[in-house]
Amino acid sequence: MSVRPRFQRVVIAGLGLLGGSLALALKQRSLAGRVVAWGRDLSRLRPAVPAGLVDEVSVDVSAARGADLVVLCATAAQYEQQLRQLAGAAPAGCLVTDVASVKGASVARWHKAAGPLRFVASHPMAGGEKTGWRNAKAGLFEGAACLMTPLPRTDRSAVLAVGTLWQDLGMDVALCSPEEHDRLVGLVSHLPHAAAFALAAATARLGSSEDFQWAGKGWFDTTRVAASDPSLWAGIFLHHPRRMERSLALVEAELGRLRALLKAGKRPALEAWLERAAAFRRSTEKGGK
Amino acid sequence: MSVRPRFQRVVIAGLGLLGGSLALALKQRSLAGRVVAWGRDLSRLRPAVPAGLVDEVSVDVSAARGADLVVLCATAAQYEQQLRQLAGAAPAGCLVTDVASVKGASVARWHKAAGPLRFVASHPMAGGEKTGWRNAKAGLFEGAACLMTPLPRTDRSAVLAVGTLWQDLGMDVALCSPEEHDRLVGLVSHLPHAAAFALAAATARLGSSEDFQWAGKGWFDTTRVAASDPSLWAGIFLHHPRRMERSLALVEAELGRLRALLKAGKRPALEAWLERAAAFRRSTEKGGK
């Protein structure tokens, strides 16, 4: 029995870890007829065809002709320009979504740039510290959360279609405003990343790489995301620097509190502080995490 | 073919995650004839027999009669008293080792308290944030590192025998001084734990547990060890508070640096800072981590 795939021609704009994993997942679940990677560097895109990720690659926006879905997977800074190009190439009404970790005021700009295309902002909360399509995994999205941030004016059927796509990839989908998205993701993702970078930076001043042949899961887990792409994360942190500054100051304050407790040497007070932190961490656990 | 196990009677003093995992691993690899748990609370120990972890349980040090190996798996604060008790019950020359995360000056005290027993300090660097023997895993030690910290006066054959035990459990064993151990472990383990606790403490002030239904691997990995036992970690941090204070101050300084970079909004400088942190983190990676 042959089932017509949900999308006939999907354009992935930016074939990195997320774009590549999306391509693999769409293929594996027979959700797309043809998957096309649109990017800037043909020599880096080309091997993705024999690697089985995509059916064709292009550095020309004309690749979006006849597309019924475009997913923006490059860095958010490129979206506005890409959307303007796509608006002149893809069919009017073509669904467009994205994978950016930052939303806020950008979403309204993206909507405007998308013109007659049906844009819906998405943030599939999957990824990893290893970048590039060669690290792509078909299962990257499975079981992870996806926050969609439609505006009041966003086409309702487009929200449904894009939401169904992420669900088809195994994601838990929810809707919220772009502003609530940034508060939430700033807290549950950006702040842990920033703290991990700071821990790695401090540790580099205290010891050598050789010392870490004795490191266990504690070090590797706590700092895993500090190996993430600096350029991507600079963009994310600078999307809402004031919020990040306030949150980072609170982490500094808690480190200072811990230092004061160690200085005072009062074990019950120290244990109580540790217990509050541990209790909060435990309270955030879901099944399987 | 039946092979005589390496140890005839092994006493595990303190049946928690490590003690329980050790019991399982000894059984699974046929390294011990009989495994005995010695502890303080009979009602908590008893179910470990039908659970298949140990052959007998006891709250009396007389359990160490006839033992050829005792492994101290309770908190380090109990070791001195336990060793004095064991010195009066176990056969002279009985091997004794431990699993404490802290060494330094304590090792000499433990040696003294062990009297005629052959004590060798060990730190198998395995564990987890889930405590108690019900979370025990036979494979806990496999592939992990074990630092042994013999003193110049430590019996050489005892060092060899205990080192062989950890190797038999799949560990990479190395020797260093108690002081070098504390510097190393303070850096690669205690500091990441402290930072994770501080991040969790700060996050508790910024959001609610419900927000974390949207958290991904970044949050869960970065703060995993913040769910560790507060009492255990209070003891570890207070073992070398001055060192911890100095290290924590450096993490605060790097967080302050990151805040300043965000305030200045100069992307190249921010990227350079992130890249240095990422490069150090990557330089600590070994195969498979």
pLDDT digits (tens, 9 = 90+) for A182-241: 999 999 999 999 999 999 999 999 999 999 988 988 999 999 999 999 999 999 999 999
Percent of chain A whose predicted confidence (pLDDT) is above 90: 93
**Pick from B216, B241, B282: which is nearest to A262 by CB?**
B241
Same structural domain for residues A199 and A243? yes
Q: Does A146 contact chain B (CB < 8 Å)?
A: no
What pLDDT is attached to residue A11?
Answer: 98
Is the confidence at residue B194, as pLDDT, over 90?
A: yes
The answer as to whether B1 is a domain residue is no
Q: What is the number of structural domains in chain A?
A: 2
pLDDT in tens, B220-255: 999 999 999 999 999 999 999 999 999 999 999 999
Which residues of A fall within a CB distance of 8 Å from B103?
Answer: none
What is the gyration radius of the CA atoms in chain A, in angstroms? 21
Q: Identify the CA nearest to B274 among candidates A204, A183, A131, A102.
A: A204
pLDDT band at A2 (very low <50, low <70, confident <90, very high): low
pLDDT of residue B2: 53
User: In what order do the strands lie in the sheet containing B145-148?
Assistant: B122-124, B145-148, B172-175
Which of A:230-259 have CB within 8 Å of B? 230-231, 233-235, 237-238, 241, 244-245, 247-259
Nearest-CA distance from A87 to chain B in Å?
30
pLDDT score recorded for residue B18: 96
Asked, for residue A288, whether it belongs to a domain, the answer is no
Q: Do both B135 and B62 map to the same domain?
A: yes
Chain B interface includes A214 (CB < 8 A): yes
> Looking at the partner chain, which of A211, A248, A277 has a beta carbon nearest the beta carbon of B259?
A248
Final residue of a structural domain among A155, A176, A197: A176
**What does the pLDDT read at residue A130?**
84
A248 within a domain of the structure (yes/no): yes
Please indicate, yes or no, whether residues A162 and A224 belong to a single structural domain of this protein. no
Q: Is residue B288 part of a domain?
A: no
Nearest to A199 among B192, B216, B282 (CB): B192
Residue of A252, A257, A267 to mutate for B, most B C-beta atoms under 10 A: A252
Chain B residue with CA closest to A241: the answer is B262
Inter-chain touch A271–B231, beta carbons under 8 Å:
yes
Output the pLDDT for position B287: 46
As a whole number of angstroms, the distance between CA B3 and CA B7 comes to 11
SS3 B148: strand
Return the CATH number at A132. Answer: 3.40.50.720
Q: Are residues B90 and B225 in the same domain?
A: no
| Pair (A36, A138) in one structural domain | yes
**Ramachandran bin of B93, using left for φ above 0, alpha for ψ from -120 to 50, beta for the remaining angles:** left
Confidence check: pLDDT of B1 > 60:
no
Please enumerate in sequence order all residues whose Cβ is within 8 A of that of A120, keeping only pairs 6 or more positions apart, or say none.
Answer: A95, A96, A97, A148, A150, A154, A155, A158, A159, A162
Question: Token match 């949900």: residue?
Answer: A6
- B248: nearest CA partner in chain A: A255
Alpha-carbon gap, residue A92 to A66, rounded angstroms: 10
Q: Is the pLDDT of residue B170 over 90?
A: yes
Residue A143 has pLDDT above 70, yes or no: yes
**What pLDDT band is residue A282 in, cutting at 50, 70 and 90?**
very high
Inter-chain touch B252–A255, beta carbons under 8 Å:
yes
Position B289 confidence tier, pLDDT thresholds 50, 70, 90: very low
> Which residues numbered 23-62 in B keep a CB inside 8 Å of some CB on A?
none
Strand partners, A174: A147
Q: Which residues of B touch A206 (CB under 8 A)?
A: 187, 191, 247, 250
Say yes or no: A147 and A238 in one domain: no
Verify that A243 and A107 share a domain, yes or no.
Answer: no
Q: Hey, is the C-beta of A265 within 8 angstroms of any chain B C-beta?
A: yes
Q: Please, which pLDDT band fits residue A288 given cuts at 50, 70 and 90?
A: very low
Q: Which residue of A has its CA nearest to B246?
A: A259
Contacting residues of B for A230, CB less than 8 Å apart: 271, 274-275, 278
- Identify whether residues A81 and A199 lie together within a single domain: no
Q: Are residues B143 and B187 in the same domain?
A: no
B163/B187 same-domain check:
no
- Longest CA–CA separation in chain A, Å: 72
Each residue's pLDDT tens digit, B104-162: 999 999 999 999 999 999 999 988 778 899 999 999 999 999 999 999 999 999 999 99
State whether B173 and B188 are in the same domain: no
The reported pLDDT for the residue numbered B288 is 39
Question: Does residue B185 have a pLDDT over 60?
Answer: yes
B268 within some domain:
yes
Is the minimum CB–CB distance between B260 and chain A shorter than 8 Å? no
Average pLDDT over residues A253-280: 98
Facing B281 at nearest CB: one of A200, A249, A289: A200
Cβ–Cβ gap A274/B230 under 8 Å: yes
Chain A residues closer than 8 Å to B170 by CB: none
Which among B155, B177, B199 is the end of a domain? Answer: B177
Residues of B in contact with A283 (CB under 8 A): 209, 212
Structure confidence at residue A116 (pLDDT): 97
Helix or strand run (H / E) with residue B98? strand B95-98
* End-of-domain residue from the set A161, A176, A191: A176
Is the ipTM higher than 0.90? The answer is no
Q: What is the per-residue pLDDT across A91-119, written as a single tens digit (0 to 9) for each?
A: 999 999 999 999 999 999 999 999 999 99
The answer to whether residue A86 is domain-embedded is yes
Residues B53-108: tens digit of each pLDDT: 999 999 999 999 999 999 999 999 999 999 999 999 999 999 999 999 999 999 99
> Is A2 a domain residue?
no
Please check whether residue A207 is in contact with residue B187, taking contact to mean a CB–CB distance below 8 angstroms: yes
Among A7, A3, A17, A15, smallest CA distance to A56 is for A15
CATH number at residue B208: 1.10.3660.10
Average pLDDT over residues B19-25: 98
Q: Confidence band (pLDDT; 50, 70, 90) for A287?
A: very low
Cα of A110 to nearest chain B Cα, Å: 22
Q: Give the closest-approach CA distance of A102 to chain B in angstroms.
A: 14
**B47 and B161 part of one domain:** yes
* pLDDT reported for residue A3: 63
Q: Would B243 be classed as within a structural domain? A: yes
A172-175: strand order across its sheet: A122-124, A145-148, A172-175
Predicted confidence (pLDDT) per residue in A157-167, tens digit: 999 999 999 99
Structural domain boundaries, residue A238: 180-283
Give me the pLDDT at residue A127, please.
82
At A4 the pLDDT is 75
